[in-house]
Each structure stands twice: as structure tokens, then as C-alpha cells.
Chains A and B, each alone.
Chain A
Amino acid sequence: MLTHEEILSRLRERFPEAVLDVPEGMIDFTIVIAPQAWHDVALFLRDELGYDFLTNVTAVDWPDRFEVVYHLYGVQAGHPLLTIKLPVTDKENPVVPSVVDVWRSADFQEREEYDLMGIRFEGHPNLKRIMMWEGYEGHPLRKDFQNRTYSYAELEPTRKATPDW
């Protein structure tokens, strides 16, 4: 098990530019990483620090940025939770590097965030919608998504308003 200082010093030593911030007062220990350095940092975390279990990939839509959040554990090394955050300031076209080749568990979850939050994971081998159907427009988990009621005619264009019988 590594202490928080050890993780930080080894990360800073290897990637002096990558660590953007270590927010204070968080419930879980969190490190903010620069998105462009994330793939290299991910390999370093897996191979040299022993974080072999990427449990959760998600994203949060803040008014000024997207935040892609990763929750990591070390199964073989017994590491407790480590939260990694990538700030994405480009709200029009959010892109972060994919880590499917580092942790396979990112596969479906990155597709889910692409589908529902509209974040493009560069390098994902099969980046397409997973929950919504093909041809669906928009990303439901974004805060600017308009929730509305759908009529039957919209959802099933072939369905008749009144049945024949």
C-alpha cells in the first residue's frame, strides 16, 4: 500500500507536467491529471504503482467544463480507492484519450459516456452508442438536454393512432 504522498511524489517525478491539482477537503483522495498526459499516466499507474483494477469510468457536466472521473483500486497490491479526474474545458468538442488498451474494463463504460454524455474517447476501438439506438441525436446526461414527453407517433412512426378494430 502506498501513501498519498508517495503516489504524488512518484507521479510528479515521472510526469512533472501531468499533475494539475490535488484538491483539498475531498472525501476520496483525488488527483487531477492533464488529459493529454492521461494515457501515459494510466500505463504508469497500472504497471509501476499496481493499480490494476479500473472500477468506474464516468463524467460530470459542470457549467464551465466536463470532468471525466476514473475510480481505481489495486486488487493484487491491495491499494485503496484512487480517484483520477480529467478536466475538459472544450465544451463543444470534448475529447480525452481512451484507456481501453490499459484496462479492458473501460471498454463499455467509455462507450456509455460517449453515448450519454457525448465525450469522445480517442483511440477506442469501437466507439459507438451502447444504450441509445443508432441514429439517436443528443446526449441525455448533459445538463442542457431537454427532458420532454414523447408521443407515440414520434417513437413508433409506423404505429396507427387508432387500431383498425
Chain B
Amino acid sequence: MSVQIPPTERLRTDTIQINMGPHHPSTHGVFRMVLTLDGETVVDLEPRFGYLHRGIEKTAEERTYVQNVPFTDRLDYICGITNNWAYALALEKLAGIEVPERAEYIRVILGELTRVMNHMLAIGFLWNDLGATTFTPVVYAFRERERILDLIEMAAGSRMMPSYIRAGGVVADLPEEFMPRLQKLVPHLKRFIDEMDTMLTKNEIFRARAVGVGVLKAKDAINAGVSGPVLRASGVPYDIRKVDSYSIYDRFDFEVPVHTAGDVYARYLQRLAEARQSLRIIEQAMRDIPEGPVTSLPYKQLSRLKPPKGEAYGRIESPKGELGFYLVSDGSNKPYRFRIRSTSLLNLTLLREMCIGHKVADVVTILGSIDITLGDVDR
């Protein structure tokens, strides 16, 4: 004898609230998400920040312009060079400082190397989040990162906290052995990107986990201030290197790759394509780099820099997106207001909308594909 269940009486489930983080390996730092789950499906998500808040904006108001350079290293600690660059750019705009030709080329070379390094790490960590428990992609990415960091160390003296790009140029000229090493490294990195491509792109499990997950529509992305590879993977060809053509980016021949799907897979493909374009820029910069001075503002002048009263907003295309600095000067040697327009914080705006309806395991993937650094989120 079988029991008949009337179709109106569906199984009732209760939602459960769990904390993911602050100490969770998939959050790439100290970041908490309060998830409301129905079974394994995400019903609601609330991001909580502030665990790495160091008050850099306040601290910077009490220090001189050159003393603030090391703080910028510690924002997005994966790519210190581009953080220095954004700050230098805003300060140069504020104080009207010219940058010598050779310094611009050095900035472009190191900045694009940083982009390659960041995108390789982002892909590696994405695979780590997907549960590639042998760590293979991330270890490969770290191996190549060390090669790039060696070059940055050669130029700046420090691997991760370079403080190398300052207003008016760069700190010191490149050592003699830099260029030969770079010439060997570029073809090597090209092979490495192809290797990652062959190894990962057509992987069936990866596609099953990444295609159609965490879709971000172009209109929503623009409205939410999302920038960088995440925006371009949603089909918006907006690259500040092309739009503002700051520094000397108008001299180089490169494309802005765009993917239209806006899902985790598109963001992965986007980073691979962008890393290839970066190497293209480095090759051209290596070929064209002129001799000459590397700074227009020696340290003694820089340390006494007093920009005229005023304010300026300077932004660059950092590997993660738009990184901007808003500086207000009252004519003294310290900034009156020092505002950091954080890339990672803005890219997290739509995390909730991207995650709702997906499984818990996908939340980890989506967060990994946005590629945040908590030092940049909390400042």
C-alpha cells in the first residue's frame, strides 16, 4: 500500500545564516560574507569589511607627500608598482611636474610586468578556489611571479614594496643587467601564458564550474562602478590606458580585448588575453626606450615639495581596474585630504547580486574571479 502525498504539500525548508570568513582561505585575506542559505543555494549575501582597515587616508594627512609613497605599496600589495604610479600621477597633476621620457618607459615596462604577474596570480588563485587541491596552477603562477619580482627587485631594491615610482620620475635608473634579463623573460612569459592556456582553458571540469556562473551584465557593471578586467569581460571596451592615454600609452600598438559573456569563464579568458597584450607593450617599450635622466625632481626637492593650493584626481588602469587618488592641497607640505579610490571595494559592489541563486561553492569561484586584495578594499 503506498501513501499518496498531495502535490500542494511541498517540503518546507528553513533558511540558515552562516558566516564565511573573516578567516577563510577562499576570501584571500580577512573578509567576511554573511550568507543566508536555503539548502545549498544562496538566498542573500552581505559583505562585511574593515578587518584590515589601517586608516591610511588619515595617517597620510599627517605626513609629507614623499613619506606617503610607502603607504601606497601596502594598498594592493600584489601590485605595488601600479599603486605608486597612480599616486605619482595624481601628485604630478596637482603640482604640475613633468616626467622625463626614459622614466615613462621604465614605468610602462614595470607596470605591464605587474599586470602580467597579477593576472597570472588571479588565474592561479581562481583554480585554487575551484579546488585544484594539488595547487598546480597557483604554484606555477608563483614561480613566474618570482621571476618578475626579481626584475622589480633589481630596479627598486624590494620585491613587493618597491616605492619605486615617485612624482617626477622613478627613484633610480635601471641597472645594466636589467634589459638582458627582461629580453630573456618576455619570450619565456609568452610560452608560460600559452602553457596556462593549453592546460586550463578547455578543461571540462573548469568549464562546468565557470561557464554561466556569476553573470554580470554590462549596464549593471557600469552603474556599479566596476572597472578593469571584470568590466571588460562584461562586454564594455573601457580601458583607461586608451581612454585617458596617460603616460605614453598612445605610442604603443595594443588592443583592448573584450569578452561579452560576463561570467567567471569570460573573466578568466579576459585576463589571459590582457596578459598577452601587456607583453606586446613591453616588447615595444624595450625596443624604443631612450637614454636620459630618470627623474625631473631629485629627492631633496621632492621631500620639500609644496604643491600650490588646489586639488586633483588622477587615475590609472591598474591590473585590477581603475585606481585613483584624489589629493587636496592647502599649500603646505602635507596633503589636506588624501583619498584613495579603491578598485577592489568598487568591484565588490555587485557581489550580492552575482551570487544570489548560486551554490555556496560558486560564491568562492565568483569572489576569486573578481580578484580582490583586502589591503585595497579596507585601506
Contacts and interface: CB of A to CB of B under 8 A. Distances in A.
Indicate the size class of the contact surface on chain B: 35 or more
B220 A27 contact: no
Nearest to B345: A108
Interface in A86-145: 103-105, 107-109, 116, 129-133, 140-141, 145
Most-contacted residue by chain A among B55, B236, B339 (CB, 10 A)? B339
A137 to B, nearest CB: 15
A27 B311 contact: yes
A75 B236 contact: yes
Nearest to A27: B312
Given A104-B224, A116-B57, A58 B339 contact: yes
B241 to A, nearest CB: 14
Contacts of B339: 56, 58
B337 interface: yes
A108 B346 contact: yes
Interface stretch (B33-41, B175-183, B322-330): B322-330
Interface string B304-346: 0000001111010000001010101000000011010100011
A25 B312 CA distance: 12
Interface residues of A, number: 35
Given A104-B350, A105-B349, A132-B50, A55 B322 contact: yes
A24 B159 CA distance: 44
A107 B238 CA distance: 22
B313 A83 contact: yes
Contact of A130 (B49, B58, B226): B49
Contacts of B310: 25-27
A54 interface: yes
B128 to A, nearest CB: 26
A108 B53 contact: no
Contacts of B211: none
Nearest to B324: A56
A84 to B, nearest CB: 12
A69 to B, nearest CB: 7
Interface in B224-250: 224-227, 236, 238, 243
Sort A-B residue pairs by CB-CB distance and give the 7 closest, nearest first: A105-B225, A104-B224, A131-B50, A131-B53, A56-B341, A58-B339, A27-B312
Interface of B: 49-50, 53, 55, 57-58, 62, 93-94, 220, 222-227, 236, 238, 243, 310-313, 315, 322, 324, 326, 328, 336-337, 339, 341, 345-346, 348-350, 378-379
Given A26-B311, A105-B224, 14 more contacts: A27-B94, A27-B311, A61-B337, A71-B313, A76-B222, A103-B223, A104-B224, A104-B225, A105-B226, A108-B49, A108-B348, A131-B378, A141-B57, A141-B58
